[in-house]
Amino acid sequence: MISSALFSQSTSQALKTMELGIRISPNIAWAKIQSGSMKANGAGVGFTYGLTGDFALGNSGNYFFSTELNVSTIPVKVASTTTMKNVTPKIGGGYDTTSFRGGELEFNYANQYLQIPLGIKMKTQEIGNMKYYIQVGIAPSFMMRSRLTTTTIGTQQRVYPDNKGISFHDPNLEADDVYQFSGTNVVGSAVGEKEYDFKDDVARVRFPAIIGVGLDYKLTGNTRFTAGLRFDNAINDFFKDKRVNARSNMIAINMGIIF
């Protein structure tokens, strides 16, 4: 009997060192252009859902290793600032050139990632029915799906042919490279340089630093409602086009239940 009681007490104490839950998180995301022929074009709204886990560090109950497994849709909206051209061969010989001036093209990315945030969460002692926390860490993100809608503004020309019946494409799919901008060869270039072109492919891995604040509200027993704000700032470049450097950032409103 004593052994059984000790085992039950030990198990109960061990369970308190681990907190698991579910979360949802709408986000507002935007691009920060550092160089190249693009400008940020406002913010987009995305969404995250997944599982969360906090694992106690030490016996104080204030410090936790925090991790999550999320599916996140993170939008990025940019617009052209310089002329872009598509050059395509014509049937029977010759080429067709379609030209778009700066500001006539908008690129709206809606990429979906598997995110695995890793960090340290520091919680206060319980104040009333609440604990407050600060979280810092990283959130490696691996692309599950990439979708780009390229639209034109102030011109009758379109990126997607009417007979195709499509309104978006996968920027990383080789078969969809026909919808990016091939540009024209630089005369006399020995290395095949081009101008007026843009490669719309994006990095398949996103690597952001994160910082967040929030609170846990005790509902009953070990069940708590959690809510907070998180800033997510990508460290690596968003585009694969080496002449356009950008970072994707977002602010997320986290909500969830911890069991």
- Which of 13-22, 95-104, 145-154, 231-240 is least confident? 13-22
Tell me, yes or no, whether 8 lies in a domain.
Answer: no
* Within a domain: 10: no
Is there a domain that residue 43 lies in?
yes
Confidence of residue 17 (pLDDT cuts 50, 70, 90): confident
Render pLDDT for 90-114 as a digit per residue (tens, 0 to 9).
887 788 889 999 999 999 999 999 9
Name the one residue in this structure whose structure tokens are 């630093």.
209
The answer to whether residues 228 and 210 touch, using CB atoms and an 8 Å cutoff, is: no
Q: Which of 3-12, 53-62, 65-74, 238-247 has the lowest mean pLDDT?
A: 3-12
Please tell me which of 5-9, 49-53, 242-246 the model is most confident about, judged by mean pLDDT.
49-53
The answer to whether 140 touches 115, Cβ cutoff 8 Å, is yes
Which CATH number characterizes residue 237's domain?
A: 2.40.160
121 in any annotated domain: yes
Instruction: Specify if 4 maps to a domain.
Output: no
- The total number of structural domains in the chain stands at 1
Query: What pLDDT shows up at residue 13?
Result: 45
pLDDT top residue among 64 and 1: 64
Q: Residue 16: what pLDDT?
A: 64
Percent of the chain with pLDDT over 70: 94
Q: Measured between alpha carbons, how far is 140 from 91 in angstroms, rounded to an integer?
A: 46
Of the listed ranges 17-21, 170-174, 198-202, 233-237, the least confidently predicted one is 17-21
pLDDT score, position 49: 98
In this prediction, residues 27-49 reach a mean pLDDT of 96
Has residue 200 got a pLDDT over 50?
yes
The answer as to whether 9 is a domain residue is: no
Question: What pLDDT does 1 receive?
Answer: 46
Tell me the C-alpha distance between 11 and 7, whole Å. 6
In a domain, 11, yes or no: no
207 phi, psi to nearest 5 deg: -130, 90
Is residue 142 assigned to a domain?
A: yes
Structural domain boundaries, residue 64: 18-258
Radius of gyration over alpha carbons of the chain, in Å? 24
